[in-house]
Amino acid sequence: MIKALIFDFGKVLVDYDFSHIIDPLFISEADRKEFNTFFTSLDFINELDRESTPFIDIIRRKQQEYPKYTMQLQTFFDRYVDFVTGEVPGMKDLLKELKAQGFKLYGLTNWSSKVHQVMKNYDIFSLLDGQVISSEEHLIKPEPEIYERLLEKFGLKAEECVFTDDKAVNVVAAEKIGITGIVFHDAAQFARELKAIIEQTA
């Protein structure tokens, strides 16, 4: 029987877009492309999400490495909350329904310590019974230890959980330790797949 539902944050509970703030800061297309090469790289993203060193220290080091992009990186730091464009349509109402049905709701996210500023701005996060955040654990999905940390922290059994994430690799990692997974596309698709899983495991 499914008792707990675990949600990724970005692109599942809230949406985000860096380009609408960062892209206008460039004069040349070549500079924008060069910046995005490292800014969107998995290495940089994982470093921010793991946050083995403070977020600001990572930004300062990157500014030294790419001095001509000092302004863009500072804007990224200063306006971080503005990159979140809103809650994913339909998800807050769905979480309310699921909570009313008796399911426990948890978050499992790869996100820097800036996530707490985001969580203050959106009501959907208040529906969670708890969360595990990569920057606090210094672990990131799809490392199995971060899933195990969530199970341990909240006393959950893997076989009683469903995890949803917009990245298939993270869902596969959850499934490897016995958690049922759903690759998220939108609220309606998630609701359909979850209903089928709940009926199958009842």
Looking at residue 202, what is its pLDDT? 79
User: Other CB atoms closer than 10 Å to residue 64's CB: what's the count?
Assistant: 9
Q: State pLDDT tens for residues 121-151.
A: 999 999 999 999 999 999 999 999 999 999 9
Q: State pLDDT tens for residues 9-55.
A: 999 999 999 999 999 999 999 999 999 999 999 999 999 999 999 99
What whole-number distance in Å separates Cα of residue 44 and Cα of residue 41? 5
pTM of the model: 0.96
Judged on CB neighbours under 10 Å (0-12, 13-18, 19+), 181 is buried
* Cβ proximity of 123 and 133 under 8 Å: no
Looking at residue 82, what is its pLDDT? 95
Looking at residue 163, what is its pLDDT? 98
Looking at residue 141, what is its pLDDT? 98
Per-residue pLDDT at 178 exceeds 90: yes
- pLDDT band at 114, cuts 50/70/90? very high
What whole-number distance in Å separates Cα of residue 58 and Cα of residue 185? 31
List the Cα angle 80/66/68 in 5-degree steps: 85
Q: State pLDDT tens for residues 78-102.
A: 999 999 999 999 999 999 999 999 9
